[in-house]
Amino acid sequence: MQEGQQKELLALEIQGKSMQVPSGTSLLSIASSLEKDFSYPILGAKYNGELVDLYIEITVPGKIEFFDITSREGIRIYRQSLVFLLARAVNELFPLRKLKVQHSLGKSYYCEFKGMDYLSPLDLIALEAKMKEFVKAGEPIIPQDLSRENALRILAAQGHEEKVALLENLNWKKIRVYTSGSYSNYSYRLLAPDTGKLKVFKLEAYAQGFLLRFPVPANPTQVAPYPNLPKLGQVFRESEEWASILGVNNLAGLYGLCRHDEGKYNQLIHIAEALHEKKIARIADEIYSQHDKFRIVLIAGPSSSGKTTFAQRLAIQLRVLGLQPVPISLDDYFVNREDTPLDERGEVDFEALGAIDLELFNQHLRELIAGLPVEVPTFNFETGCREWFGKKLQVKPGQPLIIEGIHGLNETLTSSVQRGNKYKIYISALTQIAIDDHNRVQTTDTRLIRRVVRDYQFRGQSALRTLKLWSSVRRGEEKNIFPYQEEADMMFNSALLYELGVLKKHAFPLLSAVSIKEKEYTDARRLLDLLAYFPEIADQNVPLNSILREFIGGSSIHGQ
C-alpha cells in the first residue's frame, strides 16, 4: 500500500458520537478539538476499553472515551502526575536529595527527604515555585516504550537506583519512561500529557517532611481541606518503623530477600506476624489496665480490614489476662428489611446507621452493663426480619462486651454508654510497602484485592460482582467510617508487608476473567498491573492465625 493510501478513515464512537478519523491520528489531537466541551483539562482516555495516555495513535476502529479530573481514572492520573512534577522540581533544585512519597494522609501525600528530619520553609517555597514554573510552561510529559537496556540506562543516569533495582527483577522486554524537559522518570500509572494541566496543588510543612496536597473530583479548582489526622499519621509512622525493622522498604528489597535467602524471607513473614501479635497484646494490656472502666470494646474499620480475625485474636489476648470478653453482633440488630433506609440513589442502604435498631441496641447495652439477663435477637438474612429464639446473654464485671461493626467509632451507636466506659479501635490495611520512592501502593487497592479473593472463596462471588459493588462500599466508608477514625483510642494497621505476593495467585485468575467489555475492566486491569510487580509467595508460609487467612482460607481461628 502506498504512503498516501495509509491514512484510511476509521469509524469511531467518541464521547457517544460517531466520527471518522484518519488512521494514525493521536488521541492528543482529538482531545484538543474536544476540550472546549469539558469543564476541566482532558487527562487520559479509554480506547476500546483499555486505559491509555493521550499520545496513543488511532490504528483500529472502536470507541474512545476521554476523561478529566472529575473521574476516578482522572484523579489517579492527576495525583501521580503531581508526584512526577514534584520529583522533577526536587531533581532540579536539590539534585543530591532523595524524595520519598511515604503514604497518603487524607487527600494528600506525605513526603520526606531520605536522611533529613528537618525541611527549611524556604526550601518548600522554592519547590512549590519551581512546580508552578513547570505548570506555567506547559511542557509535554512524553511517554516512551523503551527497550529494557535503554530504560534502565536512562533511569540509572537520572539517579533512580531503587527503580532500576526493582525493574531488573521483572522480566519485561519494554519499559515505559516518561520525559519532560531533560528529566525522566518511571511511573506505574499513566501521567497527564503536559505539565500545564496540573494547576491545583499545594505544598505544606508536616511532621519532619511535607504534604503534597491535591484537589478532589467534587471540587477540582481547590485543594482538599487540610488533613487534621494526627492519630492516622502516627500509625503510618509506626508502619514505617515496622518496615525498617523488617529491613524492607520497597519492592526491590523484597525481591532481594526472596532471591538471596529463603530462610531470611520466611523470617520476614514471622517477624511481620509477630509485630501484629505484639500490637494486639499491647492493646489487650491497655484494656486490662482499666478493665473496671472499659465495659465496651468497639472495633471499626473499612471493608476487608480483617476486623473479624483481629477481634478474635484480641479476645484471645484478653483471656490470657484473665478477662472473659463477650461478643455482640450488630448484624442481629438490623431493622426489618422494609424499614431499612434508602441512600441518595434510592437503593437500600444496609450500611446506614439507621439500618440498626439503635433504641433496642442501646436498651440491651444498658441492661447488660447493669448485669441483667437479656434476650438477644437473631437476624434472618433470608427473610430480612429479626427473630427471637430465647437466646439469653448476661455479663459480669470483668467481662467486656466486644462490638465489631462499621459504626463502632460513631458515638450515636452507643449513646446510652458514657464515652469513658468505651474503648474504640480503628483497624485498616494501611499499605506498608511501596513499589519505589515515587510509586506507592494505594491502601484501597490492597483492600479491594483482599475482598476479591475473600468474596470468591467464601461467598461464591465473581471478581466482576465485587468490583461492581466497590463504589457503593467506598461511598459508605467515606460517610460512615473515615469521618470518625480520629475518635479511636487505638489504631491498628492490619496490612502485612508480604501479603500481595500471597494474594497474587488467588486474585490473578479472578481479575483476568473480567471482560474488556465491562465498565469494571479498567479496575481489574489496574489491580492486575499492580500484582504483576510482586513475587509470588506460597500460602503454606502464612501462619494459620494470620489476618491474611481471613481472605485466603485455612484460618485456625474461625475454621475457614
Q: What's the pLDDT at 344?
A: 80
Whether residue 192 has pLDDT greater than 60: yes
Q: How deeply is 296 buried, as exposed, middle or buried, from its count of CB atoms within 10 A (0-12, 13-18, 19+)?
A: buried
Crossing angle between the packed helical segments 521-531 and 499-512, to the nearest 10 degrees: 140
Strand runs labelled E in 114-192: 142-147, 174-180, 183-185
Residue in 72, 65, 56, 68 with CA at minimum distance from that of residue 15: 65
Whether residue 6 has pLDDT greater than 60: no
- Going by their DSSP bridges, the two strands 142-147 and 296-300 should be labelled as unpaired
pTM of the model: 0.93
In the beta sheet, which residues pair with residue 339? none
Question: Do 536 and 547 meet the contact criterion of CB atoms below 8 Å apart?
Answer: no
Q: Which are the contacts of 187, defined by CB distance < 8 A and separation ≥ 6? A: 80, 83, 84, 176, 178, 438, 439
pLDDT-wise least confident of 59-63, 296-300, 382-386, 548-552: 382-386
Q: How deeply is 222 buried, as exposed, middle or buried, from its count of CB atoms within 10 A (0-12, 13-18, 19+)?
A: exposed
Per-residue cell: 544: 494459620
Mean pLDDT along residues 326-343: 90
Q: What percent of the chain has pLDDT over 90?
A: 80
Question: Do 512 and 463 meet the contact criterion of CB atoms below 8 Å apart?
Answer: no
Give me the count of residues in the chain: 560
Compute CA distances 263 → 47, 145, 246, 268, whole Å: 46, 37, 14, 9
Cell numbers 449513646 correspond to what residue?
A: 415
Per-residue cell: 266: 520466611
CA–CA separation, 303 and 406 (whole Å): 8
Per residue in 220-250, pLDDT (tens digit) is 999 999 998 888 888 888 887 877 777 788 8
Q: What's the pLDDT at 235?
A: 87
pLDDT-wise least confident of 114-118, 260-264, 406-410: 260-264
CA–CA separation, 499 and 508 (whole Å): 14
Q: Which are the contacts of 191, defined by CB distance < 8 A and separation ≥ 6? A: 53, 77, 80, 81, 84, 141, 143, 178
Mean pLDDT along residues 524-543: 94
pLDDT-wise least confident of 100-109, 251-260, 495-504: 251-260
Q: What's the pLDDT at 285?
A: 97
CA–CA separation, 75 and 197 (whole Å): 12
Instruction: Assign residue 48 a region (left: φ > 0; alpha: ψ between -120 and 50; beta: otherwise).
Output: left
CA–CA separation, 405 and 302 (whole Å): 9
Per residue in 159-176, pLDDT (tens digit) is 999 999 999 999 899 999
In the beta sheet, which residues pair with residue 104? 109
Mean pLDDT along residues 522-533: 96
What is the residue extent of each domain of the chain? 3-68, 230-325+400-552
Question: Do 27 and 45 meet the contact criterion of CB atoms below 8 Å apart?
Answer: yes
Per-residue cell: 313: 485474636
Whether residue 281 has pLDDT greater than 60: yes
Mean pLDDT of the chain: 93
Question: Do 355 and 301 meet the contact criterion of CB atoms below 8 Å apart?
Answer: no
Q: What's the pLDDT at 526?
A: 96
Question: Do 492 and 283 meet the contact criterion of CB atoms below 8 Å apart?
Answer: yes
Long-range contacts of 369-372 (CB under 8 A, 24+ apart): 369/295, 369/296, 369/395, 369/401, 369/417, 369/421, 371/395, 371/396, 371/397
Task: Give the pLDDT band of residue 1 (cuts 50, 70, 90).
Answer: very low
Class at the top of the CATH hierarchy for domain 3-68: alpha beta
If one counts every other C-beta atom within 10 angstroms of the C-beta of residue 274, the result is 12
CA–CA separation, 308 and 558 (whole Å): 9
Question: Do 165 and 156 meet the contact criterion of CB atoms below 8 Å apart?
Answer: no
Per-residue cell: 238: 509506626
Q: Which are the contacts of 369, defined by CB distance < 8 A and separation ≥ 6? A: 295, 296, 395, 401, 417, 421
Q: What percent of the chain has pLDDT over 70?
A: 98
Whether residue 416 has pLDDT greater than 70: yes
Q: What's the pLDDT at 560?
A: 55
- Tell me the backbone φ, ψ of residue 299, rounded to 5 degrees: -120, 120
Question: Do 533 and 166 meet the contact criterion of CB atoms below 8 Å apart?
Answer: yes
Mean pLDDT along residues 65-92: 97
Q: How deeply is 367 buried, as exposed, middle or buried, from its count of CB atoms within 10 A (0-12, 13-18, 19+)?
A: middle
Handedness of CA 366, 483, 474, 277 (dihedral sign): negative
Task: Give the pLDDT band of residue 261 (cuts 50, 70, 90).
Answer: low
Q: Which are the contacts of 503, defined by CB distance < 8 A and separation ≥ 6? A: 449, 450, 453, 531, 548, 551, 552
Question: Do 340 and 350 meet the contact criterion of CB atoms below 8 Å apart?
Answer: yes
CA–CA separation, 310 and 308 (whole Å): 5
Alpha carbon 117 to its chain's center: 27
Question: Do 23 and 8 meet the contact criterion of CB atoms below 8 Å apart?
Answer: yes
Per-residue cell: 84: 512526577
Q: What's the pLDDT at 262?
A: 65
CA–CA separation, 447 and 450 (whole Å): 5
